[in-house]
A = this chain, B = another copy of it.
Amino acid sequence: MFDQQIYTERRNRLRAKMASGIILIPGNNESPLNYSDNTYHFRQDSTFLYLFGLDIPGLFGVIDANSGNDTLFGNDNSIDDIIWSGVKPSIKELAASVGVKNALPFADLFVKLGNSQFHFLPPYRSDIKLLLEKLLGLPTVHLAKHASIDLIHALVAMRSVKDEFEIAEIEVACETGYKMHVAAMKMAKPGVMEQEIAGTIEGIALAYGGGTSFPTILTQNGQTLHNHSHSFQLEKGRLMIVDAGAESNGHYASDFTRTIPVGGKFSQKQLDIYNIVLKANNTATALIKPGETYLSIHLKIAEVITTELKELGLMKGDVKEAVANGAHALFMPHGLGHMMGLDVHDMENYGQVYVGYDDEIRPIDQFGTANLRLGRRLQKGFVITNEPGIYFIPALIEKWYNEKTNHAFINFDQVRKYFDFGGVRLEDDILVTDSGARILGKRIPINPEEVGALQL
């Protein structure tokens, strides 16, 4: 938790942007596994953390832009709570610790709000949907369409630019991420179960921070982009993709990807593809600076990949034309990166179009680029990921072949020789600085010699 002044100042800035109405910021509740009292590790809502800083379930924050008052709703502990969960500060003390003057029992939420213009965000958890339904008299299925676009815009403007304290938290998350990835590299030997490595690095995230920032992707089947299965035994000669990050204890994220040859030695075929992705990654970092749009950098990286795959004989034709037709997306069907902060995909619960796009830069509805989560002009203080990749997805390749998609740019005969290849992805976390980009944290080994050497 930061200094209480930070939260007061953030709420005041938000109030000033909104001018009027009552802003509802529900905190998260415990989330049940297999029965009500067996719960996952508690994860507070990120907007609540940003504005109220309290990392405890069962709270509700109200920011009144009419009167200028803030109120925290929640319950004090009973003696049973103390026996089972320990002594905790009172709701009044909790409120005071983040500069909130008013503190009331949770049940008062249903009698104190009155009639007003309410601003709320689209809810993403079903228990919060049920709470808002009860509070506002709106059926759960209609809540999203009544969410406040003004509130979303105001919060996106504030949260997109990270201050020095937030950047310091992200660097802590990066430090844990470094430990996780180096541990995974050392363990990537033939015969080891994917699950064993995934569990070990998730343990590191829990030991040194708030756990992982998203479910770890760790697989020798890297052709599946978000593969959450860890059920295979590593085989010599395969490529293991590890896409994993940690949260700091303050819940800021890191998010890194590395690709490791099982047993420590890349084949020439693997190295050819690996070096293209590495070149794409390094080129992107060199291009990132305030004023550039991330869409234009994404498309330049698509050109780098297309040029190099042409060189290898997997693509053909005019590079710019191939990219304009989305032919590169056969190999990289995802975007170059996304915002990162309190969420690994920062503010994704607000709606990607509000976070990654604006009136100037609109989303592009083309396979592949449609998955680019961030397209708009970069500003100093943005924290973003840079994560190019090349994959060989048999089902997608056959689909394009059969549907005659982009045959002018793809050498399908050559591509079919890579059906057992898997994929390569390389991802760093980047701070947009005054004049360029800075890789956050100590850079995780990325040159092929370094990566292979760790297993020996």
Q: Which of A160-168, A195-203, A301-309, A428-436 faces chain B?
A: A195-203
Contact A82 B199 (CB under 8 A): no
Cβ 8 A contact of A199, one of B38, B85, B127, B204: B204
Q: How far is the CB of A83 from chain B (nearest CB, A)?
A: 6
Q: Kindly state whether residue A101 has any CB partner on chain B within 8 Å.
A: no
Interface string of A198-238 (1 = CB under 8 A from B): 11111111111001001100000100111111000000000
Query: Which residues of A in the span 292-346 have a Cβ within 8 Å of any Cβ on B?
Result: 333, 342-345
Specify the chain B residue showing the minimal Cβ separation from A176. B199
- Which residues of B lie under 8 Å from residue A107 when comparing CB positions? none
25 A-B pairs with C-beta separation under 8 A = A34-B46, A36-B124, A36-B349, A37-B345, A38-B214, A38-B344, A39-B215, A41-B215, A79-B395, A79-B399, A82-B393, A83-B224, A83-B225, A83-B396, A85-B226, A86-B221, A86-B229, A125-B126, A126-B129, A130-B140, A195-B208, A199-B211, A203-B203, A203-B206, A203-B207
Seed contacts A79-B396, A87-B395; 16 additional CB < 8 Å A-B pairs: A32-B124, A34-B342, A37-B345, A82-B395, A83-B224, A83-B225, A83-B396, A84-B225, A84-B226, A126-B127, A198-B207, A199-B207, A199-B211, A200-B206, A200-B207, A203-B204
Q: How far is the CB of A348 from chain B (nearest CB, A)?
A: 4
Q: Kindly state whether residue A69 has any CB partner on chain B within 8 Å.
A: no
Contact B195 A199 (CB under 8 A): no
- Which residues of B lie under 8 Å from residue A40 when comparing CB positions? 31, 40-41, 215
- Which residues of B lie under 8 Å from residue A35 when comparing CB positions? 124, 343, 345, 348-349
Q: Report the Cα distance A84→B243, complex, angstroms.
A: 13
Interface residues of A, Cβ cutoff 8 Å to B: 31-43, 45-46, 79, 82-87, 124-127, 129-130, 140, 195-208, 211, 214-215, 221, 224-229, 333, 342-345, 348-349, 393, 395-396, 399
Please list the 8 inter-chain residue pairs (A to B) with the smallest Cβ-Cβ separation, ordered nearest first: A203-B203, A199-B207, A199-B206, A126-B126, A86-B224, A35-B349, A126-B127, A35-B348
Q: Report the Cα distance A125→B200, complex, angstroms.
A: 29
Name the residue in A34, A197, A344 with the highest tally of chain B Cβ atoms < 10 Å from its Cβ. Answer: A34
Q: Report the Cα distance A345→B227, complex, angstroms.
A: 31
Q: Report the Cα distance A345→B39, complex, angstroms.
A: 12
Q: Report the Cα distance A124→B342, complex, angstroms.
A: 28
Specify the chain B residue showing the minimal Cβ separation from A196. B207
- Which residues of B lie under 8 Å from residue A226 when comparing CB positions? 84-85
Q: How far is the CB of A29 from chain B (nearest CB, A)?
A: 9
Specify the chain B residue showing the minimal Cβ separation from A394. B87
Specify the chain B residue showing the minimal Cβ separation from A344. B38
- Which residues of B lie under 8 Å from residue A34 when comparing CB positions? 43, 45-46, 124, 342-343, 349
Name the residue in A86, A197, A227 with the highest tally of chain B Cβ atoms < 10 Å from its Cβ. Answer: A86
Q: Report the Cα distance A302→B85, complex, angstroms.
A: 23
Contact A333 B83 (CB under 8 A): yes
Q: Report the Cα distance A204→B452, complex, angstroms.
A: 25
Q: How far is the CB of A342 from chain B (nearest CB, A)?
A: 8
Q: How far is the CB of A145 from chain B (nearest CB, A)?
A: 16
- Which residues of B lie under 8 Å from residue A87 when comparing CB positions? 395
Q: Report the Cα distance A431→B83, complex, angstroms.
A: 29
Specify the chain B residue showing the minimal Cβ separation from A224. B86
- Which residues of B lie under 8 Å from residue A86 when comparing CB positions? 221, 224, 227, 229
Specify the chain B residue showing the minimal Cβ separation from A227. B86
Contact A227 B126 (CB under 8 A): no
- Which residues of B lie under 8 Å from residue A205 when comparing CB positions? 199
Q: Report the Cα distance A83→B43, complex, angstroms.
A: 29
Specify the chain B residue showing the minimal Cβ separation from A86. B224
Q: How far is the CB of A332 from chain B (nearest CB, A)?
A: 11
- Which residues of B lie under 8 Å from residue A395 when comparing CB positions? 79, 82-83, 87
Q: Report the Cα distance A348→B196, complex, angstroms.
A: 30
Q: How far is the CB of A186 from chain B (nearest CB, A)?
A: 14
Specify the chain B residue showing the minimal Cβ separation from A38. B214
